[in-house]
């Protein structure tokens, strides 16, 4: 399961979904970082209003220009923003594609409308559709993509500041990113909690997996309320860490790489405007996204990206699949062979582990069957 729900009838859903407020942390460091971020935002706003562009750091607005910048040694704090598009080649559907997207294939669940499957109020009354869908798309059934491993390669080379993901499929973790490397903006299946505010008991991935695949609706051992994976439904706030990390990370970012997202879901989409005026922004996607608002763009206000105007100076759109774009960038950086070897090696490990687990399960099932026969034989002897 990937990206957080992106509503086809977005205006209706977003009107009924309270936007999460930025949550402050008690620490003075976070408070100072948040203050610095707001000052940066105001500086950017005034600069754009006055028509003052940031410093141009790319030699050219192409993938080659981005590669040259990375190789220059000036780029040390890369932030990746990713959405469902980085997981589609793993076999996980995105949400919005007309024929193959998730929302286009939910008829069998008899929902009042497709987005209901991710509405918290609907879930509390009718959890069955969500858990049936979760069983189909549960983490552990898919392997990370080339794009996931490219992000891991950035980490290995000491260039990744953080990866901000809209996805809930945990493939970033499977690829080797740690919790500290990740901001799972729309939550994750990695942990689950009881929905009762009086309880909130936590459960791990294995516990939830066992419940889902045994066709049980997960109920809390402590209070018998529903247990829900820690993914963000419509009607719920984003994780607190999203806001506190955003305030610290984006002012320090010196290259923003956006991959596989339509940049339509807020507040995630607004992150593109949180970097400094001079920070280059690379979009790798099947279509252009995140463009400036047409009205605000006339007066140079807003954080949207500018790929094509005469004023464009830092935004690059590379139109391709995420995997192909990452392979092309890796080749320009001289990393392609290393990336391909990483993908091959890690996929072999995943396949080997899956085969081992299947063998163990088969052995366990055979053992239970033999034990049952033995017990049956004893009964016959007693008769």
Q: Was 285 annotated as part of a binding site? A: yes
Closest CA to 83 of 189, 168, 192: 168
Q: Was 84 annotated as part of a binding site? A: yes
Q: Was 268 annotated as part of a binding site? A: no
18's CB contacts (< 8 A; 6+ apart) are: 235
Q: Was 260 annotated as part of a binding site? A: no
Rounded distance between C-alpha atoms, residue 17 and residue 139, angstroms = 27
Indicate if 186 belongs to the active site.
yes
Q: Was 166 annotated as part of a binding site? A: yes
CA 84 and chain centroid, separation: 7
Q: Was 262 annotated as part of a binding site? A: yes
Rounded distance between C-alpha atoms, residue 352 and residue 346, angstroms = 10
Q: Was 88 annotated as part of a binding site? A: yes
Q: Was 167 annotated as part of a binding site? A: yes
**Cis-peptide, bond into residue 341, ω within 30° of zero:** no
Q: Was 266 annotated as part of a binding site? A: no
Q: Are 41 and 259 in contact (CB under 8 A)?
A: no
Q: Was 322 annotated as part of a binding site? A: yes
Q: Was 87 annotated as part of a binding site? A: yes
Q: Which residue out of 126, 186, 318, 347 is catalytically annotated?
A: 186
Q: What is the CA radius of gyration of the chain?
A: 23
Q: How do strand 202-204 and strand 187-194 relate by DSSP bridges?
A: antiparallel
Burial class (CB in 10 A: 0-12, 13-18, 19+), 233: buried
Q: Name residue 317's beta-bridge partners.
A: 283
Encoded tokens for 362? 């088969």
CA 157 and chain centroid, separation: 22
Q: Was 12 annotated as part of a binding site? A: no
Q: Was 286 annotated as part of a binding site? A: yes
Q: Was 225 annotated as part of a binding site? A: no
Q: Was 223 annotated as part of a binding site? A: yes
Neighbours of 319 (CB within 10 A): 13
The angle, 0 to 180 degrees and rounded to 10, between the axes of the packed helices 336-382 and 146-156 is 110
Q: How do strand 160-165 and strand 78-82 relate by DSSP bridges?
A: parallel
Q: Was 86 annotated as part of a binding site? A: yes
Closest CA to 251 of 93, 41, 71, 96: 41
Sheet holding 227-231, edge to edge: 202-204, 187-194, 227-231
Q: Was 247 annotated as part of a binding site? A: no
Binding-site positions for Zn(2+) read 194, 199, 220, 223
Annotated binding site: 84-88, 94-96, 166-169, 194, 199, 220, 223, 261-262, 285-287, 322
Q: Which residues are catalytic?
A: 186
* Binding site per annotation, positions for NAD(+): 84-88, 94-96, 166-169, 261-262, 285-287, 322
């Amino acid at each position: 399961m990937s990206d957080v729900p992106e509503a086809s009838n977005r205006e209706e859903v977003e009107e009924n979904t309270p936007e999460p407020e930025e949550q402050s942390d008690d620490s003075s460091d976070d408070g100072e970082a948040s203050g610095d971020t707001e000052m940066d935002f105001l500086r950017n706003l005034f600069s754009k209003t006055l028509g003052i562009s940031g410093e141009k750091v790319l030699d050219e607005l192409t993938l080659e220009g981005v590669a040259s910048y990375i190789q220059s040694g000036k780029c040390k704090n890369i932030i990746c923003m990713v959405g469902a598009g980085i997981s589609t080649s793993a076999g996980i559907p995105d949400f919005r594609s007309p024929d193959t997207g998730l929302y286009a294939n939910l008829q069998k669940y008899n929902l009042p409308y497709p987005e209901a499957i991710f509405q918290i109020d609907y879930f509390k009354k009718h959890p069955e559709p969500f858990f049936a869908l979760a069983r189909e798309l549960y983490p552990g059934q898919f392997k990370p993509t080339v794009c996931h491993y490219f992000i891991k390669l950035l980490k290995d080379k000491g260039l990744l500041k953080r990866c901000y993901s809209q996805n809930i499929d945990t493939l970033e973790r499977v690829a080797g990113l740690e919790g500290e490397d990740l901001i799972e903006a729309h939550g994750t299946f990695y942990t689950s909690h009881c929905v009762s505010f009086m309880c909130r008991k936590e459960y791990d991935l294995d516990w939830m997996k066992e419940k889902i695949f045994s066709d049980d609706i997960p109920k809390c051992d402590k209070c018998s309320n529903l247990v829900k994976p820690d993914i963000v439904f419509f009607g719920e706030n984003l994780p607190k860490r999203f806001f506190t990390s955003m305030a610290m990370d984006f002012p320090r970012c010196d290259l923003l790489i956006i991959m596989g997202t339509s940049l339509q879901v807020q507040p995630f989409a607004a992150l593109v405007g949180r970097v400094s005026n001079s920070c280059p922004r690379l979009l790798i996607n099947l279509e252009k996204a995140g463009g400036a608002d047409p009205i605000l763009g006339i007066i140079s206000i807003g954080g949207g990206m500018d790929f094509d105007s005469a004023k464009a100076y830092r935004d690059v759109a590379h139109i391709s699949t995420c995997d192909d774009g990452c392979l092309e960038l890796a080749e320009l950086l001289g990393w392609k062979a290393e990336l391909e070897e990483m993908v091959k090696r890690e996929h072999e490990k995943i396949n080997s582990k899956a085969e081992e687990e299947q063998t163990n399960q088969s052995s366990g099932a055979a053992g239970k069957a033999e034990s049952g026969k033995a017990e049956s034989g004893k009964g016959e002897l007693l008769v």
